[in-house]
């Protein structure tokens, strides 16, 4: 039956070639790698690609009786993409079994250690006993006040590193499955959107949901619970006892064990699935090299300025497959072409870079600054005895919102560089979303992206803010003078003069720095320069499907990042985001090699003389 189907397929293609619909082309027998011109799917997308025309011809042409009830779908992986023997791309270090096993070990070790500290505190009447804080050794004081939060912050950064890669590779894992992936799992998924996770988690898939949950637990819940788990009580002899609270300690241990379970879930899924990639998916050029042979181009026709609903329903008419680092699509049976609004009425600018959310966040920072000062230097300090985790919770909210700003600035940065026109070819391979918080300042500095440098430094300072604000449980009026003694510094104090003022000044400086950089972000990124909201494969595809540099990406599926960069750089071309003449001769909005017809300052279709812009 397979041979009959294959002969029918070649016969129809041969007939079509004779009629002049598509170029004559050799189609290999099953198992034989394709040796045809790799750029044919680009050159003839204005009519039909070869594979697409074969499908439509088979659907419309009368077949012999023994072939009418036959499944006419083809295994595209036998005909398209690099040969099956190509070396697959290894998962990033933070997604390999050794790293994930390390995270599981650390989680369980911290949970056991927390339970050990609770049992010791319960039996000995406290972890540390003192009358005046000055009598506590430096090592004991550090282990009590700062070490727990520092350890958990570092642990949170390690978990975040895995989360970054999970979000980046999720669409490819889904498309590698034998049955392929729906549009919502692949082309339309927004893996970097925390808002989608909070409001509609089913759209991001199980893998990202698990990854996001463990990250939020590690970075937000665990530091807050740890801050609340340690408290100071006074006995009848006016001695202070650092004790571990039963409820908060057990919740902290449970959260750490849950993180271990979630990491194990990811480890189990990764051991079963493969990304199907031959190189890391970094930058716009990576998307281009994966779609120039998979009949993906014409699905984006007239979608540059389309309404998001139109884009979603258009892409949902197909299933998507990743075979040998090439993305293919297969139309879902009985799907109907969707005709919706042709122009978007929504703002495509990332939400956290707009005036409204940024101004609200700055207002929140000011409120936190006021509350922080009032609680520290007035009688309102008694609230910390009732709610010891109050300041930590305020800092955690700041950390959550700032991480959203950080992610969206990283996401749009390559597009922003391209919108400034005449960008170097390396911009097409930029991918800041997959860079960890610790690495980001160095990468931004090497790329001379100074706004990103400031944002990334503040992302590290937010971690310091969490440590500082979690240490405040005393009255600031007790530290107005350096020569504090037992009278002016009562035995209930947990701070020394130096530790209090260093933590306080750091917290004030960081809060002001965040406010200033929020204003800088708005001033530099307030302008709309994209036709669609970035963050999905569909958006990247829509912005490049008619550009001319796709020809430069033909046959690059097996190239690593260094080889890809060398190929793009040696072309000597500059690139931009705006209006350009596509391969079909029409005006399109997207990314292409210079010179463009018009910049991205206006999303309205410009009136350009065709003769002047043909070059």
**Sequence ranges of the domains in the chain:** 2-74, 93-274, 351-525
pLDDT of residue 549: 81
Residue 200 exposed, middle or buried by CB count within 10 Å (0-12, 13-18, 19+): exposed
The Cα 375–Cα 31 span in angstroms is: 73
- State phi, psi for 304 to the nearest 5 degrees: -60, -40
pLDDT of residue 88: 56
pLDDT of residue 180: 84
Q: Return the bridge partners of 232, or none.
A: 242
Q: Locate tokens 């879902």: which residue?
A: 332
- 281 touches 167 (CB < 8 A): no
The mean predicted confidence, pLDDT, of the chain is 75
The Cα 613–Cα 596 span in angstroms is: 8
pLDDT of residue 22: 31
CA angle 527, 532, 535 (to 5 degrees): 100
The Cα 388–Cα 249 span in angstroms is: 14
Determine the straight-line distance between the first and last CA of the chain, rounded to whole angstroms: 50
Nearest one of 153, 263, 280, 157 to 211, comparing CA atoms: 263
Q: Which residues of 54-88 are buried (b: 16+ CB within 10 A; e: fewer)?
A: bbebbeeeebeeeeeeeeeebebebbbbbeeeeee
**pLDDT > 90 in the chain, percent:** 15
Give the Å distances, CA to CA, from 100 to 163, 168, 262, 277. 11, 17, 10, 21
pLDDT tens, residue by residue, 6-20: 444 443 333 333 333
pLDDT of residue 597: 82
- 515 touches 362 (CB < 8 A): yes
pLDDT of residue 7: 46
pLDDT of residue 473: 67
Helix (H), strand (E) at residue 591: strand 587-593
Helices (H) and strands (E) in the chain, counts: 22, 8
Residue 247 exposed, middle or buried by CB count within 10 Å (0-12, 13-18, 19+): exposed
**Which parts of the chain have pLDDT scores under 50?**
1-87, 338-344, 484-492, 610-615
């Amino acid at each position: 039956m397979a041979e009959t189907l294959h002969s029918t397929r070649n016969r129809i293609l041969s007939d079509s070639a004779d009629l002049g619909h598509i170029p004559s082309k050799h189609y290999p027998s099953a198992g034989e790698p394709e040796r045809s011109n790799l750029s044919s799917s680009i050159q003839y997308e204005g009519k039909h690609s070869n594979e697409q025309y074969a499908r439509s011809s088979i659907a419309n042409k009368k077949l012999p009786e023994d072939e009418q009830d036959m499944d006419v779908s083809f295994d595209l992986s036998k005909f398209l993409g690099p040969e099956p023997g190509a070396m697959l791309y290894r998962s990033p270090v933070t997604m390999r079994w050794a790293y994930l096993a390390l995270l599981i070990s650390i989680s369980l070790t911290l949970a056991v250690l927390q339970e050990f500290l609770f049992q010791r505190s319960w039996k000995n009447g406290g972890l540390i006993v003192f009358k005046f804080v000055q009598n506590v050794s430096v090592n004991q004081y550090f282990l009590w006040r700062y070490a727990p939060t520092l350890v958990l912050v570092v642990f949170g950064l390690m978990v975040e590193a895995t989360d970054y890669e999970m979000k980046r590779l999720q669409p490819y894992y889904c498309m590698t499955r034998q049955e392929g992936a729906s549009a919502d799992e692949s082309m339309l998924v927004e893996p970097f959107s925390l808002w989608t996770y909070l409001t509609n988690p089913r759209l991001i898939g199980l893998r990202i949901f698990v990854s996001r949950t463990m990250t939020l637990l590690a970075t937000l819940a665990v530091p807050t619970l740890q801050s609340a788990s340690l408290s100071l009580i006074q006995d009848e002899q006016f001695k202070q006892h650092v004790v571990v609270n039963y409820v908060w300690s057990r919740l902290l241990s449970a959260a750490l064990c849950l993180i271990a379970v979630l990491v194990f879930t990811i480890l189990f899924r990764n051991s079963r699935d493969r990304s199907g990639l031959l190189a890391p998916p970094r930058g716009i050029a990576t998307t281009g090299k994966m779609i120039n042979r998979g009949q993906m181009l014409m699905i984006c026709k007239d979608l540059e300025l389309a309404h998001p609903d139109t884009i979603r329903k258009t892409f949902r008419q197909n299933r998507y497959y990743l075979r040998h680092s090439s993305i293919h699509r297969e139309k879902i049976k009985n799907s109907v072409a969707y005709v919706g609004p042709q122009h978007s009425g929504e703002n495509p600018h990332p939400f956290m870079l707009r005036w409204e959310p940024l101004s609200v966040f700055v207002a929140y920072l000011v409120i936190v600054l006021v509350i922080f000062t009032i609680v520290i230097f007035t009688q309102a300090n008694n609230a910390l005895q009732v709610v010891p985790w109050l300041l930590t919770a305020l800092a955690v909210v700041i950390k959550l919102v700032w991480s959203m700003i950080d992610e969206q600035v990283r996401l749009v940065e390559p597009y922003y560089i391209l919108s400034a026109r005449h960008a170097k070819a390396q911009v097409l391979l930029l991918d800041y979303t997959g860079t960890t918080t610790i690495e980001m300042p160095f990468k931004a500095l090497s790329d001379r992206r100074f706004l990103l440098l400031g944002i990334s430094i503040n992302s590290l300072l937010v971690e310091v803010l969490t440590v500082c604000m979690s240490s405040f449980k005393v009255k600031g009026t007790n530290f107005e003078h350096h020569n504090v003694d037992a009278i002016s510094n009562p035995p209930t104090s947990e701070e020394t003069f130096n530790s209090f003022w260093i933590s306080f000044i750091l917290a004030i400086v960081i809060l002001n720095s965040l406010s200033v950089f929020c204003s800088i972000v708005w001033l530099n990124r307030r302008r709309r320069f994209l036709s669609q909201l970035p963050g999905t494969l569909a958006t990247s595809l829509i912005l490049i499907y008619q550009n001319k540099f796709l020809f430069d990406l033909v046959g690059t599926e097996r190239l690593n990042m260094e080889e890809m960069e060398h190929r793009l750089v040696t072309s000597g071309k500059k690139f931009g985001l705006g209006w350009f003449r596509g391969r079909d001769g029409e005006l399109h909005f997207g990314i292409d090699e210079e010179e463009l017809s018009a910049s991205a300052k206006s999303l309205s279709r410009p009136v350009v003389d065709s003769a002047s812009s043909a070059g």
